[in-house]
Copies of this chain bind each other. A is one copy, B any other.
Amino acid sequence: MAYRETEKMRQRKAQARQRIIDCTYECVANGGFRSARITRIAGLAGVATGTIYRHFESREDLFAEIFRTATQREVDKVAEALDTNGDAAVRLEAALRQFAERALRGPMMAWALIAEPVDPKLEEERLVYRRAYAQLFEKAIRNGINEGCIPDQDARQSSTSLVGAIAESLVGPLSPTLAGQITIADIDKNKLVDSIIRFCMQGLTGTRR
């Protein structure tokens, strides 16, 4: 037994793995999952295609990891915004804003995560994460109901609707530009975010704004 995995090797492998992840991320942020080719990723990462498969079971698996990591980052940001001071309604508003603004700041990745048609395995991940958002909102809504700043309602239903309303409002602006379509630069992001939030908060509080 002449060869033994050493710390140096472990690190080198970890680095390669990370490089693959980073390059996949870049590809996805650039054109979505569908257009991210294994050969391209390998090329960017400076490894052979076969090497990808020493680090990930399959393309789907690699994508699933990217999807999870990227989405978790967003979920965490929303959770963070929900964890600040103020009453539940204020915190919810901050969270919705965080969600929308971050999406508009990285539109292609946001589109890939929210709306790009993907294979069943990724679609499953997506449903999981949509539920994760909804659960965060749901909890905040319940807090609000207890605090009295949000009227009593079906918190689960409302949270689902919030996720849908934001996602739908963003899908148009986020969708990769087809010929002659409105681009993201053309719209007033602040206005968009404000109007999304107005509807959401009104739906939640039953109070006109």
Q: Which of B124, B164, B175 contacts A164 (CB 8 A)?
A: B164
In the complex, given contacts A130-B171, A157-B195, A160-B172, what are 5 additional A-B residue pairs having Cβ atoms less than 8 angstroms apart? A117-B117, A127-B175, A157-B192, A164-B171, A167-B168
A115 to chain B, nearest CB (A): 9
Residue picked from A169, A171, A195, A206, most chain B C-beta under 10 Å: A206
| Chain A residues with a Cβ under 8 A of chain B | 117-120, 123-124, 127, 130-131, 151, 153-154, 157-158, 160-169, 171-172, 175, 178, 192, 195-196, 198-200, 202-203, 206-209
In order of increasing CB-CB distance, the 7 nearest A-B pairs are: A164-B168, A203-B203, A117-B117, A206-B208, A161-B165, A157-B195, A164-B164
Determine the distance from Cα of A100 to Cα of B13 in the docked complex, in whole angstroms. 51
Name the prevailing secondary structure of the A interface residues: helix
Residues of B within 8 A of A166 (CB): 164
Can you name the residue of chain B whose Cβ is closest to the Cβ of A154?
B195
Copies in the assembly, this chain: 2
Residues of B within 8 A of A195 (CB): 154, 157
Q: Which of B153, B163, B207 contacts A206 (CB 8 A)?
A: B207
Determine the distance from Cα of A178 to Cα of B192 in the docked complex, in whole angstroms. 36
Residue picked from A168, A175, A196, most chain B C-beta under 10 Å: A168
Can you name the residue of chain B whose Cβ is closest to the Cβ of A122?
B117
A143 to chain B, nearest CB (A): 18
A160 to chain B, nearest CB (A): 5
